[in-house]
Amino acid sequence: MCAIAGIIGSKVNKISNMINVQKHRGPDEQKYKIFNNNISLGMARLSIIDLKSKGLCLYHEKNYVLTYNGEIYNYKEIRRELKHKGIKFNTNCDTEVFLKSFIFWGKNCFSKFNGMFAAGIYDLKKKKLYLVRDIAGEKPLYYYKNNKDFAFASETKAFHKNFSLTKNTDRKFFNSFQHCLNKTLWKEVFSLPPASIMEISLKNYKTKIEKYW
């Protein structure tokens, strides 16, 4: 179990608070970083696969940065497939396989994964953030959005001290949980639906959600 978080907008320096409040999910290593003064990413890691490898918190490859919570059960098969295509690996961890799969196949890689995961991938060149969640929604991924800021985290309490939250009074939420799977107790906080990819442009803050399965 790990924790991930990220902020776009005026409160990027609050990323340390968001990671610290979730560090019980990842006691082995915590890391956060601000990019270009308008986006910050963080992760608290619990080491499960490849315990000796370091630098897997905010894994960086070419123009991409990954913050990742989960496990890809078939990562060894995918790793072999990528190696046959000439891709080289530095670790034995599924984190590296996750990001290199995205770099090679793009968003089509997620349908190849058999596992449970929630992740944020930042493309430094295109200035885009991608959030993705596993098919069954086993791993949590919440996001906060208002007119000025966007943030995501593994737990909703990561938003409490850093952003203004309003209790949800929508009767549909309380009367039909199944109907409102992406809603939470707070109007500004949503759950990314399972088997979904959210794309956020840092140029205009526009968001788009699509299904990959």
Which residues are marked as active site? 2
**What is the CB-side half-sphere exposure of residue 139 using CA atoms within 13 A?**
25
φ/ψ (deg, to 5) at 19: -75, -40
- Distance between CA atoms of residues 32 and 108, nearest Å: 28
| CA distance linking residue 102 with residue 81, whole number of Å | 13
Rounded distance between C-alpha atoms, residue 66 and residue 135, angstroms: 19
Cβ count within 10 A of residue 15: 23
Q: Can you tell me which residue has the tokens 């960086």?
A: 60
- Show the tokens assigned to 210: 């699509």
Give 72's strand partners.
115
In sign, the C-alpha dihedral spanning 199, 201, 71, 75 is positive
Cβ count near 97 (within 10 Å): 26
What is the rounded distance in angstroms from the CA atom of residue 110 to the CA atom of residue 205? 24
